[in-house]
Amino acid sequence: MGYPMASNLFKKLGPSKFWVLDHSEPVALKFKQEHGNVHVATKASKIAEECSVIVTMLPASAHVRQVYLGENGLLSKLQPNALVIDSSTIDPSTSKEVSSILEKQGATMLDAPVSGGTLGAQAGTLTFMVGAKTPESFEQSKLILEHMGKNIVYCGLPGTGQVAKICNNMILGISMVAASEAMNLGVRMGMDPKLLASVINTSSGRCWSTELYNPCPGVLPNVPSSRDYTGGFGVSLMAKDMGLAVNAANETKSTTILASVTHQIYNQVMTTPGYEKKDFSSVFKWLNNNAEKYQ
């Protein structure tokens, strides 16, 4: 996600001092080779030292803590009045905590997780769900985010962007399992998968998982299911996001029966040999291969 987002930002931002950092240095060097006038850092502290506007995209809460607060992290060299935008999907409490720490250093941090997947990142059409302390800081962030997305939504105070993202991905995870079960059922009962998807997508069962990201191979081109579930949004990331939703539900004493079951399913898919690096829509294949187990 971070690579195409940074690419769009670099191309649309205009003349500027542009630094990149990736946990895999060859990836950062590839970015420099492809884009030209780019500086490559090996430590987050160097980014903080050189840049007054910083955008991060990291896998999980632990990575955010390390990059922001750890040794040679952003906090150690953060410029006064820096604008820091974190587009990771993490738990709201970590987001609020890190934001508060950076605020004491004079910086402004916003949580701005995204929706739209890798295709949206490449096309620059992402939705950003933004948590910001003030409407003014949100407006400031829009000047950056609009180069990477088309829907920039102010959700409220720090942490609320994460709340919106967790709720969205909870629905996405559940709907993908539902779509996979329905497509498997219809195909096993003799329906042509393309025809079945067409009927669903002109009926009340229509959803993003059936219409734009169908998990059944051969229904749609240019989606992970058409290339053996490579690329896309990893099943391990969906398992993580479902876990964030379940944890938030436990903290707020909210009833999330489907989320809890779906979290267990993605955990099982993720730990099944051959699925570790697959897209989350591979749950379709996993359900098909394990049909007898759940009879």
Pick the CATH number of 164-294 from 3.30.420.40, 3.40.50.720, 1.10.3720.10, 1.10.1040.10: 1.10.1040.10
Q: What is the pTM of this model?
A: 0.91
Average per-residue pLDDT in the chain?
95
Q: What is the pLDDT of residues 86-127, one digit of tens each?
A: 999 999 999 999 999 999 999 999 999 999 888 899 999 999
* Burial grade of 104 (CB within 10 A; 0-12, 13-18, 19 or more): exposed
* Residue in this structure with the two tokens 């955010």, named with its chain if needed: 64
Amino acid at 84: V
Sign of CA dihedral 111, 237, 38, 24: positive
Q: Where are the domains of the chain?
A: 2-157, 164-294
* Burial grade of 20 (CB within 10 A; 0-12, 13-18, 19 or more): buried
Helix (H, G, I), strand (E, B) or coil at 92: helix
Annotated catalytic residues are: 165
CATH of domain 2-157: 3.40.50.720
Torsional class of 231: left (φ above 0), alpha (ψ -120 to 50), beta (otherwise): left
| Spans of the chain below 70 pLDDT | 15, 291-295
Helix (H, G, I), strand (E, B) or coil at 290: coil
